[in-house]
Amino acid sequence: MRVVRLHAPHDLRLTTEPDPVPEPAEALIRVGAMGICGSDIHWWLEGAVGETALTKPVVPGHELAGWVVGGPLDGHLVAVDPAIPCGHCAYCRAGHANLCPAVIFAGHGEQDGALRELMAWPAHRLTSLPDGFTAAAGALLEPMGVALHATDLAHLRPADTVAVVGLGPIGLLAVQLVRAAGAGRVIGVDPLAHRRQAAISLGADAVLAPAAVASAEARRDALAGADGADRVFEIAGTDSAIAEALELARPGARVMLAGIPDDDHSGFPAGLARRKGLTLVMVRRMKDMYPRCAALVQRGLVDLAPLVTGRFPLAQAPAAFDQAAARSGLKVIIEPQA
């Protein structure tokens, strides 16, 4: 099979390796689509994500869907959960598998991910997708799961005003999810005009460039006169985005921090957060979200198709990562079978 490995920042190499042989509890998957995530861009640019650095050539990619080869699900299109929690620690037993300290995660550390034609993965981490799903849509269920987990953590109430700071794919999915959950007004913030426009087309009531957040008048107009948002999602990973999220929050609001910083350090205006009595919530990946995500898409409450703005074959993986890092579109997909 053909495989792409990351050897160092900006160093992706296409090679040929033996086909994987699945273990008894695993399924063999013909990878149909892999989405490039913000964390993948960190690997591409810096060779690290947070405290985890590249120690050997690894196959990137954790947003994926494909077709099962052999076994009970032979021929089925499945979404692949990239996380393999231990299942028996205190966090797993309490329903917080996303916090499992022994979790194995595709394309992270030394665990090979999805940027290859075939991969073996535990069968219990696969979700069979309904008719009408494409592999690209199946791959997008992973970032959607992160947005859905953040929405759960927000404790959203019907008619709440919500702000989303960072309108990449996860932010745009959050816009749709909070709208589906009954948000009364949704505001998006992003420096890129095409992302702000995408937010409007996907359900946001108003959008702001970051510079406008500092203006009390601009905030008041976007918030339709409210003194702040009830729930705020920060999905950019920069200190400036966190500051904007806190500025948009009303006193007593709940702020979800889902962005991943470049250097594993974040800072925020502590005085502002303290005076407002804000609750800051860290978002760690997701829990068991795939069935819920698929159902929301099937019911038409979330539209995934507009998020895919670039498609590349496996041999053009470096160009795909360059496009994703440039943030000139939304979601870039690599299709290993193309």
Average pLDDT of every residue of the chain: 96
Options 3.40.50.450, 3.40.50.1820, 3.40.50.720, 3.40.50.300; which CATH number does 145-282 get? 3.40.50.720
Domain ranges of the chain: 2-128+304-335, 145-282
| Residues 259, 193: Cα–Cα separation, whole Å | 20
| Residues 320, 44: Cα–Cα separation, whole Å | 11
Q: How many Å separate Cα 184 from the centre of its chain?
A: 24
- 74-101 tens-digit pLDDT: 999 999 999 999 999 999 999 999 999 9
> Residue 138: its pLDDT value, please?
98
Whether residue 224 contacts residue 185, with contact meaning beta carbons closer than 8 Å, is answered with: yes
Edge-to-edge strands of the sheet including 229-234? 206-208, 185-189, 161-165, 229-234, 249-257, 279-282
Whether residue 233 contacts residue 258, with contact meaning beta carbons closer than 8 Å, is answered with: yes
- 292-326 tens-digit pLDDT: 999 999 999 999 999 999 999 999 999 999 999 99
Whether residue 269 contacts residue 246, with contact meaning beta carbons closer than 8 Å, is answered with: yes
What's the CATH number for 2-128+304-335? 3.90.180.10
Query: How many Cβ atoms are within 10 Å of 320's Cβ, its own excluded?
Result: 25
- 204-235 tens-digit pLDDT: 999 999 999 999 999 999 999 899 999 999 99
Whether residue 154 contacts residue 177, with contact meaning beta carbons closer than 8 Å, is answered with: no
Whether residue 206 contacts residue 199, with contact meaning beta carbons closer than 8 Å, is answered with: no
Coil, helix or strand for 39? helix
